[in-house]
Amino acid sequence: MTEARIFEGAVIHVIDDDEAVRQSLSFLLATAGHTVQEHASARHFVDAGLPGTDPNISCIITDVRMPGMTGIDLLQHLKDKGSSVPVIVVTGHGDVPLAVEAMKLGAADFLEKPFDDVAILDTVKAALARREKDHHHDALRGEVADRIAGLSQRERQVLECLVAGQANKTIAYELGISPRTVEVYRANVMTKMKAQSLSELVRMALLAGITPTAA
């Protein structure tokens, strides 16, 4: 995965009540080629309907200590909303307990002030890479779910038996059909799922949440 591909369409939201820090961080990120949006408070960010209204939002950098809604409050809000956008928390000296709390709430990473420019850019790059990987994983899961939805009831049963590690004869006995019929259904399943091997088929099924239990 190239760096250009990771950054493509990415929008980074910087949240900090300190205007000087916010502008400095935004300038650094923009100079590195990122699209940046600034917010003077977490409340302003949330009231703008973000991150839901921005499909390209790929990373959030937020100060942990802010009046009103803190960085911790924001993380809790995002967690409650089911957001998967990576959040990098900026903490001051001596805020290790807050940093730990932030990580427990799902923060991707934290940076301690004063921070190094290289460290910031490396942390953002890692967060964007994880975001891209998650997007790919979600897209693949959706494709697999669509393929499974296209299976007949009997084909779905055969798939579940295959995931459970059952041989054709066992599947035939379980479903009350002949081994030859199982082979036909198995071939149909492989074709519809676009699987090149049994191991690939099993990986797809597990990705879609089909557990390895007998039919």
Q: C-alpha 210: how far from its chain's center? A: 20
What does the pLDDT look like over 19-70, one tens digit per residue?
A: 999 999 999 999 999 999 999 999 999 998 888 777 778 899 999 999 999 9
Give the residue ranges of DSSP H helices in 48-116: 71-80, 96-104
Q: Does pLDDT of 14 surpass 80?
A: yes
What does the pLDDT look like over 103-136, one tens digit per residue?
A: 999 999 998 888 889 999 999 999 888 888 877 7
d(CA 92, CA 98): 10
Q: pLDDT > 90: what percent of the chain?
A: 61
**Fold of the 3-136 domain:** Rossmann fold (3.40.50)
Q: What is the domain partition of the chain in residue ranges? A: 3-136, 150-207
By the 8 A CB rule, do 158 and 171 touch? yes
By the 8 A CB rule, do 127 and 10 touch? no
3-class DSSP state of 139: helix
Beta bridge partners of 160: none
Name the CA dihedral angle for 14, 15, 19, 25, rounded to a multiple of 10 degrees.
-30
Q: Among the CATH numbers 3.20.20.100, 1.10.10.10, 2.60.120.640, 3.30.565.10, which is that of 150-207?
A: 1.10.10.10
